[in-house]
Structure 1
Amino acid sequence: MSEPSAAARLPDELHRRLGVSDAVVIGLGSMIGAGIFAALAPAAHAAGSGLLLGLALAAVVAYCNATSSARLAALYPASGGTYVYGRERLGDFWGYLAGWAFIVGKTASCAAMALTVGSYVWPGQTHAVAVTAVVALTAVNYAGMQKSALLTRTIVAVVLAVLAAVVVDAFTSGTADAARLDVGSDATSGGVLQAAGLLFFAFAGYARIATLGEEVRDPARTIPRAIPLALGITLVVYAVVAAAVLSVLGPKGLADATAPLSDTVRSAGADWLVPVVRVGAAVAALGSLLALILGVSRTTLAMARDRHLPHGLAAVHPKFKVPHRAELVVGAVVVVLAATADVRGAIGFSSFGVLAYYAIANASACTLTPAEGRPARIIPVAGLAGCLVLAFALPLASVISGAAVLTLGAATFGIRRAVDARRT
């Protein structure tokens, strides 16, 4: 069946403009930007030489989540991701809780990425630069998806080039020592689990692909192809960069580093690369921020359509065909957080919310039938168990704050249902 003409589309429908390559690039822009520059040091602090084990564990859980999400997205190619899957497969409450976890957790991620931009571009004015970045990228998203995809493609190319330079310099400098890659020599199981939970923050970018279901061409084929491609490329990049950094700094040096990749090239004797890495880090964080604002606004759109959020946020711009009110509200909230928040606390909090989100995605995938394309049963079961284990292995402050916010969301849902019941 051909796509309906522009005249035949409903006014609140989004245009299907993105192909496989665009969807993969959007996922890469989110995952690579978030993880390489934000999660390696805290993960090394938790796991020591077990960092690579934590990375492998996070990748396994992410693969399960990606497979479950891809099968569900093919059946439900609408904006909202697991908010839609949970609602359709498990009921309104679980869909709402998934959407709540995503919006809250990823809004915190937006602030973390904006602050990362500020810390690299102008350390003395971190919050001011962060606010400026949020305003600028909200405007880009407002102008339409094609511009967002083109900008993200450019960002990913720049970041990959910078990371390649770091890896080559690290392995050819003469300072690299394979003995520093003695995997797991000083790691504990709890430390590896906590590192995996923190690194999962970096793998969560493939959610951007699923939440763009209404803007992807032929979603039944495009989404299942784009998600594992983006995840696989990211895993290779992560493993190579992590090994390069560990070989130069060692587990303790990496754990203590405030800017691991800059410290790596400096220790390798390539001071000229330091400003290049700083620019690459800022560009990477911009890529993540762009994709994050885009994904949160689409989930907000979906929840507003179902009146779980103010219905006015479901409006789609008649010219640009984007959820403009949702994007403006999301941008405004992130501006406030970017002006006041702490970047380190945002990572653990975001990880808890995202792991809760994917736990619901895997639970939803468990209900699929073979005729609906259900993956092997072990995949969603392992994904569900992995998400729960990693969520509660995070730092205690992240677990407490994350659980409190999810409880608040559940209570809000219950109160709204009770009010609606009285009215009827």
Structure 2
Amino acid sequence: MTEELRRSLGGFDAVVIGLGSMVGAGIFVALGPAADAAGSGAGLLWALGVAAVVAYANAMASARLAARYPASGGTYVYGRERLGSFWGYLAGWAFVTGKTASCAAMALTVGAYVWPEQAHAVAVAAVVAMTAVNYTGVQKSALVTRAVVAVVLAVLAAVVVVCAGAGEVARVSPGGELTAGGVLQAAGLLFFAFAGYARIATLGEEVRDPARTIPRAVPVALGITLAVYGLVAVGVLAVLGPAALAHSPAPLADAARAADAGWLVPVVTVGAAVAALGSLLSLILGVSRTTLAMARDGYLPDALAAVHPRFHVPHRAEVAVGAVVAVVAATADVRGAIGFSSFGVLVYYGIANASAWTLGGRERPLAALGLAGCGALAFALPLGSVLAGSGVVAAGVVAWAVSRGRAVPPRR
């Protein structure tokens, strides 16, 4: 008999885990590349809005499905139950591969801020530390994430206040031509920052009263994140301008310097590291749960389906995920990881929206919007990200053909 995970998370913890996965990633990692792709300050703000709309549609699809199927695995489970085994498997494959790249990006962010000369070594150490925290239990992970969110929100609030009070601000000129392609590519990169609400859905088996908790927690976490991102983006644009923002490796620190608030720079550095660690913590949590679900169904080695008798976590899946992320973090580039991750996650949410469509009801137009949005953003990403992502998806299809003989049929 399959051992079940413990339902220990309430609504507040679910919101905090979602915030811990989202807040920080877009501000400290994706904001600069997105500004470069958008080509102007107005384009960046439009892209932020587009990414938020697509994320909202995806969030509502995920919330409806998670309430009906409160088991670990997220869209892997939803796709399997609503569309068939192949689509569920493909969603799980896209999630695990895409979010593995996200984990590496977050770990590398820690290294870049804490010790740039040894960024890869610090990144690997961060992966080991966060894997160890997750290994001791999801409730402890939620407590750590709560502290991380509090610190990061305080740092971001300080940046917004400093930017708003700057005596002189940059003259935010258009900076470049506003194009639909640029806005969509920037939105695809910024979507990397909004995808954290998936962590709430993938923890469905560990949330108390999931039919009520998950549909409430997802939009609350997403709404708070959008408000924070919007305020910070406007503040940094006002101080740096779009061109400087596009080429800044540490835009929030540079904004503090430009606003004559040098005292805030080390605080921002600490905040960036803490934010990335919080995201890494929750990302490993979510990837390991999807790995658990796929192992239970025979698409991954059976050993990964084990649940620790004391900590009640998928300990072997967590160790395996941590090991893979550590290898990627030791060799990868942070900006390339963002594009690759975005492609995989957009494929994942495309399947989530298609699954939500089959539920019928008045939410069908929102599911259609989410599906179309995911497709548009995925193929608007930089060509290298599209090619790499498509290649990994194709490899997943091949792996499906090999593994389907030992996989269990979908549960109806």
TM-score by length of structure 2 reads 0.96
State yes or no: 1:417 paired with 2:410: no
Q: Deviations over 1:131-167 (max 9, x none)?
A: 1111111010000011100000000000000000000
Aligned twin of 2:273:
282
Q: Which moved more, 1:412-421 or 1:21-30?
A: 412-421
Equivalences for 1:113-132 in 2 at 5 Å?
113-132=106-125
Deviation at 1:415, TM superposition (A): 2.8
Aligned twin of 1:293:
284
State yes or no: 1:305 paired with 2:296: yes
State yes or no: 1:105 paired with 2:98: yes
Conserved in 2, the CA contact under 8 Å of 1:249 and 1:267? yes
Conserved in 2, the CA contact under 8 Å of 1:46 and 1:195? yes
C-alpha separation in 1, matches of 2:22 and 2:194: 5
C-alpha separation in 1, matches of 2:241 and 2:192: 22
Deviation at 1:183, TM superposition (A): 7.0
Q: Deviations over 1:331-377 (max 9, x none)?
A: 1111111111111100000000000000000000000034xxxx522
Conserved in 1, the CA contact under 8 Å of 2:175 and 2:242? no
Distance of aligned partners of 1:276 and 1:361 in 2 relative to their CA distance in 1, 3 Å threshold = same
Aligned twin of 1:230:
221
Aligned twin of 2:373:
386
Determine helix, strand or coil for the equivalent of 1:88: helix
C-alpha separation in 1, matches of 2:75 and 2:174: 35
Aligned twin of 1:404:
391
RMSD: 1.5
Can you give the 5+ residue segments of structure 1 that lack an aligned partner in the other structure? 1-9
Conserved in 1, the CA contact under 8 Å of 2:47 and 2:190? yes
Conserved in 2, the CA contact under 8 Å of 1:53 and 1:184? no
Q: Which moved more, 1:10-19 or 1:341-350?
A: 10-19
Determine helix, strand or coil for the equivalent of 2:404: helix
Deviation at 1:34, TM superposition (A): 1.2
Deviation at 1:381, TM superposition (A): 0.2
Amino acid at match of 1:216: V
Deviation at 1:175, TM superposition (A): 2.2
Q: Deviations over 1:22-65 (max 9, x none)?
A: 01010101101211100100000011221000000000000000
Aligned twin of 2:343:
352
State yes or no: 1:150 paired with 2:143: yes
Aligned twin of 1:246:
237
Deviation at 1:414, TM superposition (A): 1.6
Determine helix, strand or coil for the equivalent of 1:384: helix
Structure 2 residue aligned with 1:326, among 310, 313, 317?
Answer: 317
Q: State the number of aligned residues.
A: 406
Aligned twin of 1:54:
47
Determine helix, strand or coil for the equivalent of 1:320: coil
C-alpha separation in 2, matches of 1:282 and 1:263: 16
Equivalences for 1:87-98 in 2 at 5 Å?
87-98=80-91
Equivalences for 1:64-103 in 2 at 5 Å?
64-103=57-96
Amino acid at match of 2:53: V
Conserved in 2, the CA contact under 8 Å of 1:81 and 1:210? yes
Conserved in 2, the CA contact under 8 Å of 1:33 and 1:286? no
Can you give the 5+ residue segments of structure 2 that lack an aligned partner in the other structure? none
C-alpha separation in 2, matches of 1:175 and 1:29: 33
Deviation at 1:89, TM superposition (A): 0.3
Q: Deviations over 1:110-132 (max 9, x none)?
A: 01100100111111111111111
C-alpha separation in 2, matches of 1:394 and 1:94: 23
Determine helix, strand or coil for the equivalent of 1:162: helix
Amino acid at match of 2:249: T
Determine helix, strand or coil for the equivalent of 2:6: coil
Q: Deviations over 1:268-292 (max 9, x none)?
A: 1111110000000000000000000
Conserved in 1, the CA contact under 8 Å of 2:299 and 2:407? no
C-alpha separation in 1, matches of 2:168 and 2:9: 44
Aligned twin of 1:261:
252
C-alpha separation in 2, matches of 1:408 and 1:377: 31
